[in-house]
């Protein structure tokens, strides 16, 4: 029998509530992305990340750029990724914690673009943020899933990121131009957020036990 590790830092009731809240967050992300896609090229051009526009003060593009997509196929692929995240980690974080993970992923991607990608003229899509959520999910699995499952997920994510840095986008990306560094920056942001949440939860748990 494989022995798991139950996360006791979040009460069961709170975890269930968090799961329902996460579903609402998922629906919100899907709804925003679909509505922006239906708005067509004008919305995409006005909201996508554009380096020159950001440096000229259009800072909203640092957030909105993650919610617009190049094509409906691109949108569909990202929505499938969101569904996968929801299926893998239904109760691993509360709504507040997921918001921290998403914010950290977006911040890491934007900082990476502005500081280290001067050649990147524009960017759209949610895939970098999805990699951040996956990295945070891997941290959560090390907290309370079985070690083999946590190791498998971590190995898959690290292998994918390594391949992309070495050989470029995976073949399943088709003809789409993929900014692979967005995946790397997003994963770093999600990893740091997951570790911070873990550390805070452990400290809170020790404080509660000492009372």
CA distance 31 to 36: 9
Domain ranges of the chain: 12-210
Tokens 């960017």, located at residue: 123
Residue 183 burial by Cβ neighbours in a 10 Å radius (0-12, 13-18, 19+): buried
Closest C-alpha among 76, 205, 73, 77 to residue 143 = 205
Can you state the percent helix, strand and coil of the chain, rounding each to 5? Answer: 75, 0, 25
pLDDT digits (tens, 9 = 90+) for 104-153: 999 999 999 999 999 999 999 999 999 999 999 999 999 988 999 999 99
State the pTM of this model.
0.88
pLDDT digits (tens, 9 = 90+) for 10-39: 555 555 565 677 778 888 999 999 999 999
CA distance 7 to 46: 43
**CATH number of the domain located at residue range(s) 12-210 in this protein:** 1.20.1540.10
The first and second tokens of residue 172, run together, are: 């399943």
Work out whether the CA dihedral 18, 20, 21, 27 comes out positive or negative. positive
pLDDT digits (tens, 9 = 90+) for 155-198: 999 999 999 999 998 877 666 789 999 999 999 999 999 999 99
The first and second tokens of residue 65, run together, are: 């750029």
């Amino acid at each position: 029998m494989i022995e798991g590790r139950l996360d006791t830092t979040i009460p069961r009731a709170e975890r269930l509530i968090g799961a329902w809240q996460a579903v609402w967050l998922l629906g919100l992300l899907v709804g925003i992305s679909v509505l922006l896609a239906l708005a067509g090229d004008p919305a995409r051009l006005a909201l996508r990340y554009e380096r020159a526009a950001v440096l000229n003060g259009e800072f909203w593009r640092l957030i909105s750029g993650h919610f617009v997509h190049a094509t409906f196929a691109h949108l569909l692929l990202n929505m499938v990724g969101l569904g996968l995240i929801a299926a893998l980690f239904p109760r691993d974080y509360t709504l507040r914690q997921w918001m921290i993970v998403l914010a950290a992923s977006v911040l890491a991607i934007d900082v990476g673009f502005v500081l280290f990608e001067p050649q990147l003229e524009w960017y759209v899509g949610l895939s970098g943020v999805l990699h951040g959520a996956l990295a945070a999910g891997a941290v959560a699995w090390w907290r309370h899933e079985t070690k083999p499952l946590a190791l498998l997920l971590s190995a898959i994510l690290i292998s994918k990121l390594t391949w992309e840095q070495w050989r470029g986008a995976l073949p399943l990306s088709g003809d789409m131009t993929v900014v692979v560094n967005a995946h790397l920056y997003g994963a770093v942001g999600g990893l740091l957020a997951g570790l911070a949440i873990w550390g805070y939860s452990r400290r809170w748990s020790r404080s509660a036990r000492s009372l």
